[in-house]
Structure 1
Amino acid sequence: MVTSEDTILILGLGNILLTDEGVGVHVVEHLRENPPVSTAHLKLMDGGTMGLTLLIDMEDADAMIVVDAALLDREPGAVQVFEGEDMDYFLRHRGRSPHDIGLDDILDGLRLREAVPECRALVGIQPAVLTVGENLTPAVKSAVPKAADAIQSLLASWKIT
């Protein structure tokens, strides 16, 4: 449960120069233009590709929602929410390069500092294209408001008091 005094970090991740890879950043921009209805303190943040430098902002959050492109083995533009331990499991079992510093590594840093929020979620969006390009593909662009709706549903389910 989240109180109205708690800070909820909504963090959009991704590289906006790699087509659909930047979808998390686009969702945060959409939320800035169409703020979610909530009585909590929301911090909307473009995390881009900042990596471990995000630890400070994440540690300061009482709850967090991360939005990012995710390989979901679904159709492009599909939105899937992973909450709490499901988020941790998904991040641990996805494929990636051993040289990649990912969100799961950042969460491990939070664990070391005993600062992982109980209320946490990943809103993943299936990309279509991950090559150089500044615009989202049509399928992923149409997923932006769907991801924003998923965030609104998460906030409602966290029963902000």
Structure 2
Amino acid sequence: METTTAHSLPHIVVLGIGNVLWADEGFGVRAVERLNALWQWPEHVELVDGGTQGLALLPFVESADRLIVFDAVDFGLEPGTLAVREGDAVPACLSARKMSLHQAGFSDVLACAQLKGNYPDDLVLIGVQPVELDDFGGSLRLAVRAQIEPAIAVAGEWLRRWGAFPVTHADRDAPVSSLNANGLALSRYEGERPSPQSANRHGDTRFWHPSEPC
């Protein structure tokens, strides 16, 4: 009787991209963090905090037979709206309404993977329409934060459809490994960051004086 191993299963990558320092830009990273915190997935499922690494994410995309991407995306919808795109609609969506440099970079990543013939068989984008981006040092707005749980529920449906079934960390009595530096965890980021009144969130004061308009 044949035994199915992790090496014979399709490699699934769940990738959160975005910049946690710019308010709702951090949605993708926060979503994959939450998925990692709630569940332990089989060995053939890889969860990745992609941040704003651009072309450095190419190996993760090339290794994926199936790829899920979390991101804050300008879908042209009401702020805080969750939306899902599949297949060819994903790069088209990311290219049509670029909000930040990381999206331009990730579009290039997908194009490079396709050009090299290492493109995922299945590609799903789970995105949210941002409320606020122009807030350096800020965190997710409430409407965007409220979509994290629905977003990971959608991801869970896809993962189960692809045969990846999780267990809770308590079931395996294993510590939860962080996807990034502990200082970037949402609780510490929000609990330890200075207030807008005491922190400069408008630029580098070496180049302009706070009393001057910018």
Task: Give me the TM-score of the superposition, normalised by structure 1.
Answer: 0.86
Identity of aligned residues (%): 37
| Secondary structure in structure 1 of the residue aligned to 2:39 | coil
How far 1:112 moved relative to its partner?
1.6
Count of residues in Structure 1 that have an aligned counterpart in Structure 2: 157
How far 1:148 moved relative to its partner?
0.3
Aligned partner of 1:41 in structure 2 is: 44
Instruction: Select 2:22's aligned residue among 18, 22, 26.
Output: 18
More strand by share: 1
Aligned ranges for residues 128-143 of structure 1 at < 5 Å? 128-131=131-134, 132-143=136-147
Aligned partner of 1:8 in structure 2 is: 12
Q: Decide which structure has the larger Cα Rg and report it.
A: 2
| Secondary structure in structure 1 of the residue aligned to 2:104 | coil
Partner AA of 1:152 in structure 2? G
How far 1:92 moved relative to its partner?
3.5
Aligned partner of 2:113 in structure 1 is: 110
Task: Give me the TM-score of the superposition, normalised by structure 2.
Answer: 0.66
Aligned partner of 2:129 in structure 1 is: 126
Partner AA of 1:128 in structure 2? V
| Secondary structure in structure 1 of the residue aligned to 2:45 | strand
Q: Which has the higher contact order (CA 8 A, sep 6+)?
A: 1
Aligned partner of 2:63 in structure 1 is: 60
CA RMSD of aligned residues (A): 2.4
Structure 2, unpaired ranges of 5+: 1-5, 165-214
- Are residue 30 (structure 1) and residue 72 (structure 2) matched? no
Structure 1 runs (4+) greater than 4 angstroms displaced = 95-98
